[in-house]
Amino acid sequence: MVEFRRDLYRGTAADYDRFRPPYPPELIDALLTCVRGRGRALDLACGTGQLARPLARYFNAVDATDQEADAVAFARDKARRAGLAHVHWRVERAEDLDAVGAYDLIVIGNAFHRLERSTVAIRAHRALLEDGVLALVWANSPLRGDAPWQRAANRLIDEWRRQLDVVDRVPKGWRSAVDADPSEDVLRRAGFRSFRRDEFTASTHWTIERLLGFVYSTSFLNRAVLGRQQSRFEHAWRETMAGFSTIDAELSFALETARA
The contact set with ligand SAM (CB under 6 A) reads 9, 20, 45-47, 50-51, 66-68, 71, 93-95, 109-111, 114-115
Strand order in the sheet with 193-206: 87-91, 61-66, 40-44, 103-109, 128-139, 247-259, 193-206
Our CB check for ligand SAM shows the closer of 116 and 234 to be: 116
**Among 145, 148, 147, 166, which Cα is nearest to 157's?**
166
Our CB check for ligand SAM shows the closer of 54 and 241 to be: 54
- Nearest residue to ligand SAM, using CB? 109
Residue 120 Cβ vs ligand SAM, minimum distance, rounded to whole Å = 8
Residue 236 Cβ vs ligand SAM, minimum distance, rounded to whole Å = 25
Outline where the chain has alpha helix (H).
Answer: 13-19, 25-33, 52-56, 69-81, 117-127, 148-163, 174-180, 183-189, 208-216, 223-226, 230-241
Q: Please, are residues 203 and 196 in contact by the beta-carbon 8 Å criterion? A: no
Residue 257 Cβ vs ligand SAM, minimum distance, rounded to whole Å = 15
Residue 52 Cβ vs ligand SAM, minimum distance, rounded to whole Å = 8
Our CB check for ligand SAM shows the closer of 223 and 236 to be: 223
Apex CA 74: angle with CA 27 and CA 29, to 5°? Answer: 10
Our CB check for ligand SAM shows the closer of 28 and 241 to be: 28
Residue 155 Cβ vs ligand SAM, minimum distance, rounded to whole Å = 23
Our CB check for ligand SAM shows the closer of 17 and 104 to be: 17
Separation between Cα atoms, residue 72 and residue 75, nearest integer Å: 5
